[in-house]
Structure 1
Amino acid sequence: MEALFKTWKTSRRIYLSYFENYSLDQLNNIPNGFNNNLIWNIGHIIVTQQKLIYRGSDLQGYISDELFNKYQSGTKPTEPVSQKEAAELKELLTSLIDLTIADFQKDIFRTYKERITGTGFHLSSINDAFECNNYHEGMHLGYMLSIRKFV
């Protein structure tokens, strides 16, 4: 699990750098040919981590239903993200790591709802969920690398 956590922390540091290197207007910009933007991808990976790890274990997690519904799979940006919401997403990128690792160490993930994800991953345990999460975050980082060329 240490290697999974190390990969996750590295991924989140890369995502965090987008807040340092792009303006809010750039983060919100949806380039021609794309249906989302940089900040939607950030919100989406936060929500998906909470879905895979917590909701997959029948736990609520640490984000609001409003945030969950805005960035879950199948959504796309409908309005620009405010500075306040951008600050919340930036904070969640790092704060959720420590909370989730602490929860894992407390062994709160006792059950897991087995399922197959939309991308075809078979999830039968919390370990599977962490592995899938890292894959998912890498996939969306790839999307962001494409989007950033046009903002």
Structure 2
Amino acid sequence: MNRSLQVTIASRELYKKLIESCTLEQLNKIPQGFKNNIIWNVGHIVVTQQLLAYKLSGLSMMVTDEMVQKYQKGTAPQGNVSQEEVDAIKNLLFSTITKTQEDLDNGLFQNYYEYTVSTANFTLKNIEDAMQFNNFHEGIHIGVILQLRKFV
């Protein structure tokens, strides 16, 4: 599992650099032909990791219900995000993974509610599956952000 989390941390470092390379206006811009923006994609990967790892394990998440409602699968930006929210999302990039590592080390992930992901039609059966799929999912959204950057 440590290797999987190392991949997640490397992914999150790239997300951090992508956020820091954009202005607030660029983070919020939805280019023509797209349905979301850069900051939505970053918020989405944070929320998704929490849902896949914690909610499906029956554990409390580090993100609020409001954040889940705003960034979960099937949502789209409903207005501009403030700099304070960008900073909060940026902090969650790493604090969520640090907490996941601690909780793994402490054996908190005992149960898992199987879940079939629509992206790959693959059933997640445990926390290891969830974290491996999460890395795949984060890679998809890095690609989306790289596309978005060309138009903002």
- Give the equivalent residue in structure 1 for 2:40: 40
Letter in 1 for 2:94: T
- Give the equivalent residue in structure 2 for 1:16: 16
CA distance in 2, matches of 1:138, 1:6: 14
- Give the equivalent residue in structure 1 for 2:128: 127
SS at match of 1:122: strand
SS at match of 1:135: helix
CA distance in 1, matches of 2:115, 2:73: 16
Sequence identity (%) = 46
Q: How many Å apart are 1:142 and its aligned residue?
A: 0.7
Matches within 5 A, 1:101-120: 101-119=101-119, 120=121
Q: How many Å apart are 1:43 and its aligned residue?
A: 0.3
CA distance in 1, matches of 2:19, 2:147: 17
CA distance in 2, matches of 1:124, 1:72: 21
- Give the equivalent residue in structure 2 for 1:137: 138
Gaps of 5+ in 2: none
- Give the equivalent residue in structure 2 for 1:83: 83
CA distance in 1, matches of 2:47, 2:31: 23
Q: How many residues align?
A: 151
CA distance in 2, matches of 1:64, 1:10: 25
CA distance in 2, matches of 1:93, 1:80: 20
CA distance in 2, matches of 1:141, 1:65: 24
- Which 4+ stretches in 1 moved above 2 angstroms? none
Q: Note the alpha carbon deviations across 1:5-36, whole angstroms, 9 max, x for none.
A: 11100000000012221001000000010000
CA distance in 1, matches of 2:12, 2:91: 11
CA distance in 1, matches of 2:106, 2:2: 15
Letter in 1 for 2:65: D
Structure 1 vs Structure 2 CA RMSD: 0.7
SS at match of 2:150: helix
CA distance in 2, matches of 1:114, 1:73: 18
Matches within 5 A, 1:91-102: 91-102=91-102
Q: TM-score, normalized by length of structure 1?
A: 0.98
Q: TM-score, normalized by length of structure 2?
A: 0.97
SS at match of 2:6: helix
Gaps of 5+ in 1: none
